[in-house]
Amino acid sequence: MRQILSIQYLRAIAAVLVVALHSTIVIRRDYAPEFPMFTTGEFGVDIFFVISGFIMWTIAAEKPTTPAAFLERRIIRIVPLYWAVTIPTAFISTDAGLTFVLPDPWSLARSFLFIPEWNEKLAMAAPIVFVGWTLNLEMFFYAVFAAALFLPPRARLVAVVFLLMTLASARLFIGVSEHAAVNLYTKSLVGEFAFGMLLGFAYQKGFARAAEGGWRLGILLVALGAAATLFRDELTPARLIHFGVPALLVVAGALLLEPQVARRPLRGLKFLGDASYSIYLVHIMAQAVSLKFIGPALGASAPALAVLAQTLFACLAGGIAHVMLEKPLTRGAAKLVESVKKRRRSAAKAALTPAE
């Protein structure tokens, strides 16, 4: 699948939104409790989820694949950096001033395997790298999507969308569970993967090319989606509605703007989009480090500047991690998997060759 610049730009924006939210949280917690909360930063996760559903549908539609090959590519993409960040996070407490701690081996194992675990402090299912709760949901979605690859495309779309929307509405009937897996997999935002898949289906059928005055409609959809996030309290407490639908509008609008966006690429924004996974994973640890010097200098006297500085530092750390960690680890994992497959093919061939 060719890279879509507008999607990369949205990934950059989504990552910065999440980082800014967490920057605000730590500055409010430690230095400026009256500073306004940047709740709109949560919207970054919803953008990521819609994009994920869109990308998974599109790559499977453009190049048919097997469940095993699909999961292999997803694991190579997700696991190496996640494990690399999980290990130091397990031994360093960011809540206790970057102090050394001994991790619970079972928690570490569950984090490595993307098995939901209840976090008493956060009152939600979250792994050691707590932002990894979204990755637990991503891996669940990948598993469901991979299983559906046995089905024809339209049946796959119907089956996966039906399952995801059923889970997204489950809390209306069963309430909020404290069982880790049930709590996680019944969050309403799992329906955003379905939104992305439906958008991918429409994109595959040419909605972006067929739309009259596409760029004007694109601007309108992005503006409506962004504006809707400002009125979450007036809409509904259901995240799938107050953030999921706006995220769908924003991603759809960005796709309509792709012809204009592609004419004048913004290298810096594209790099942030490419590095968004690294930024997302390392920003909590990066903020714990930068808070040591940014907090005392700006936290109480200029909290807005402190939030900005925290956000910039975390994005810089994420960019470095993308180049120095994510890319080499991903390449290494791909080579390792290919090497294992090659050895297995050689062994199978040798087993079939008659002895002389």
Q: Pseudo-torsion of CA 165, 112, 174, 156, nearest 10°?
A: 20
What tens digit of pLDDT does each residue of 134-143 get? 999 999 999 9
Kindly state whether residue 75 falls inside one of the protein's structural domains.
Answer: yes
Beta-bridged to residue 92, according to DSSP, are 100
What mean pLDDT is reported for the chain?
91
Kindly state whether residue 355 falls inside one of the protein's structural domains.
Answer: no
Residue 96: what pLDDT? 47
pLDDT band at 234 (very low <50, low <70, confident <90, very high): very low
What tens digit of pLDDT does each residue of 321-341 get? 999 999 999 999 999 999 988
Kindly state whether residue 111 falls inside one of the protein's structural domains.
Answer: yes
Distance, in Å, from the CA atom of 281 to the CA atom of 19, rounded to the nearest integer, reads: 10
Examine the pLDDT at 157 and tell me if it is beyond 70.
yes
Residue 94: what pLDDT? 62
In 3D space, the residue among 41, 20, 98, 35 whose CA is nearest the CA of residue 300 turns out to be 35
Beta-bridged to residue 124, according to DSSP, are 119
Kindly state whether residue 20 falls inside one of the protein's structural domains.
Answer: yes
Kindly state whether residue 348 falls inside one of the protein's structural domains.
Answer: no
Q: How many domains does the chain have?
A: 1
Kindly state whether residue 343 falls inside one of the protein's structural domains.
Answer: no
pTM attached to this predicted model? 0.94
Kindly state whether residue 320 falls inside one of the protein's structural domains.
Answer: yes
Q: Which domain holds residue 115?
A: 5-328
Chain centre distance of CA 34:
30
Residue 235: what pLDDT? 47
Number of H helices, E strands in the chain: 19, 4
3-state class (DSSP) for residue 119: strand
Kindly state whether residue 349 falls inside one of the protein's structural domains.
Answer: no
Residue 100: what pLDDT? 67
Examine the pLDDT at 236 and tell me if it is beyond 70.
no
Examine the pLDDT at 144 and tell me if it is beyond 50.
yes
Q: Does an H or E element contain 180, and which? A: helix 180-185
Residue 200: what pLDDT? 96
